[in-house]
Structure 1
Amino acid sequence: MAASTNVERIRQYYNNDVQREWDRHERHRFEFPVTMHFLERFLKPGSRILDIGGGPGRYTLALAEAGHNVTLFDLAEANIAMAKEKADQMNLAVENFIQGDARDLSSLDGELFDAILIMGPFYHLSQKGDREKVIDQTLKLLKPQGILAGAFISHYAPIYDNLRNYPHTIKEQSENLLGFLKEGTHILSENEPGFIDAYFADPDEIVPFFSSFGLKELAFFGAESLISQSEMKLIDLGEELLAEWIGFACRTAETKGAIYGTDHLVYVGRKA
């Protein structure tokens, strides 16, 4: 059985460096626009949306700006505070900001949403039971025919990250990297330093996971598409060519190469 994630440690991690999380989509320019491309395909105008684990509000703010009624629900108080600040700066109306654990959505009992995003919690919940608990509660808040989107980190992502940034460490990291393919978890400890407690999913398990809850698959794609390994080089080409590559990434994100060669995977489904 997978080791348990320390959720309090996750909360502290995001509270301690909220600016870095906000800036992540500036450093990695494909994940956000590719994901928004697919969300916009399925969201109806003026949808009521719950953004669970939405961090400092990248998706919340973009969707509010597009005319949707959005509630941000996040584990870290600092993320909520930054999202409020950004909303004020952008003069955007966000329906609600709620701090809480994705495994306990009881504060939202009685609410119903046209769409729910789960774009962060599955990055960290190593126990399948915890992931199932999130979905069980989410579906109770989702209207019939509502849209659910969930994001995961691929279990290939640590390998790709090592290739891009630390290729000289292969002697020391080889067994550790192979372990991600087998176990899919990283629990922070003296023996396992680095990124905070994380769950890395096998791409082949994601669609069956959601199907087991009766969801109908609408899309399953690699958020960095086919260009994951060349992302930094493409950013250096300038905004005009970068925009062309983002368009290309959107058009190829559902290919097998994109799904197995990307860092982040996103599923979009519809409730019966």
Structure 2
Amino acid sequence: MSEVVRNYYENNAEYEWERLNNPYSKVEFLSTIRLFEKYLPVTGHVCDVGSGPGRYSTWLLKQGYKVTLFEISQKELDIAASRILELGLQAEAYICDNATNMHVLSDETYDAVLVMGPLYHILDDCDRSKIIRDTSRILKKGGVAIFAYINSWGALKAGVTEFSEEFRDLNHLNKYLGELKLDENQGFTECYFSTPVKALEEITQGGFEIVSYAGTESFLAGMRPEITRLYKEDRIVYDHLLQVASESSELPQYRDATEHLHIVARKK
């Protein structure tokens, strides 16, 4: 992961804490928490690789897990440490480093590992494979990992309402049917967009068996403007939609066409 990515998160540290509070991204947060509740071990030590400002680490600490935060941005880690301290909680460790440098983490240490961010930005196939193999290495046998990808199929759907002007170029539109590797001038920073087929193959080749996968926006994918409107105008409908969407994020009719793809895998 490059300095371009590090600088982006250093400059947007507070935004990353608030992002999961916005009306549309809230479904991503709730769907992810449901995956934690369903698939993570009841107790144990979790390594949150790409922890950002600690939104998920904080939730895990509240549930009694021991948590190590591993993050490329020191500012993000500082926000996480401050929030965790305010809540009277304590993380096991805060490590500021690139996800491609996970060699600093010991073998077979963690009961679960979250990799929910780094793979969004790794353009090199070998580097992504290294992160996945290192995740397997630091997990205990039978441990669970959750890997997050940006899904190009879901981004295509979202683009209709969020950045349709890009689709004046038919060739660019067609690129969303496969992998996309964008530099900082093409994406919000350096970005890697995968497809469910490719992402599942990468995880399997990294020494994992697939347990399940989810599209975290579920049937609400690509509906940011409408969901934001409902949040403001009809909170009952909004709350009901969030509940059902988060509960149905693993259903095959939804999960392949959402912006965020979460893969639950177990170390063989």
TM-score if structure 2 supplies the norm length?
A: 0.91
Letter in 2 for 1:256: P
Q: Which residue of 1 aligns with 2:14?
A: 19
- Cα 1:201/1:183, change in 2 over 3 Å: closer
Aligned ranges for residues 82-101 of structure 1 at < 5 Å?
82-101=79-98
> Which one of the candidate residues 47, 52, 57 is aligned to 1:50?
47
* Aligned residue runs from structure 1 range 222-261, under 5 A: 222-238=215-231, 239-261=235-257
The answer as to 2:119 corresponding to 1:126 is no
Counterparts of 1:129-140 in structure 2, within 5 Å, are: 129-140=126-137
Q: What is the alpha-carbon distance in structure 1 between the residues aligned to residue 147 and residue 53 of structure 2? A: 17
Corresponding residue to 1:268 among 237, 260, 264? 264
Question: Relative to 1, partners in 2 of residues 1:240 and 1:12: Cα closer, same or farther, differing over 3 Å?
Answer: same
Q: Is the 8 A contact 1:29 1:235 kept in 2?
A: no
- How many residue pairs were aligned? 263
Cα offsets for 1:170-206 (capped at 9, x unmatched)? 32x4432322434411012xxx444110000011112
Sequence identity percentage:
27
Q: How high is the TM-score relative to the length of structure 1?
A: 0.90
CA 1:83–1:111 in structure 2 vs 1: closer, same or farther (change >3 Å)? farther
Q: 1:30 deviation in Å?
A: 0.8
Alignment partner for residue 153 of structure 2, among 153, 156, 172? Answer: 156
- In structure 2, which of residues 24, 27, 31 is the aligned counterpart of residue 30 of structure 1? 27
User: Can you give the 5+ residue segments of structure 2 that lack an aligned partner in the other structure?
Assistant: none
> How many angstroms apart in 2 are the aligned matches of 1:183 and 1:240?
38
Of 240-249 and 134-143, deviating more is 240-249
In the TM superposition, 1:56-95 aligns within 5 A as 56-95=53-92
| Root-mean-square deviation over aligned CA pairs | 1.9
Whether 1:218 aligns to 2:197 is no
User: C-alpha deviations, 1:12-66, integer Å up to 9, x for none?
Assistant: 0100111111111112111111011011111222221000011111111111111
Amino acid corresponding to residue 14 of structure 1 in structure 2: Y
Between stretches 203-212 and 238-247, larger displacement belongs to: 238-247
Following TM superposition, where does structure 1 have runs of at least 4 consecutive aligned residues deviating by more than 6 angstroms?
none
Q: Does 1:201 align with 2:194?
A: yes
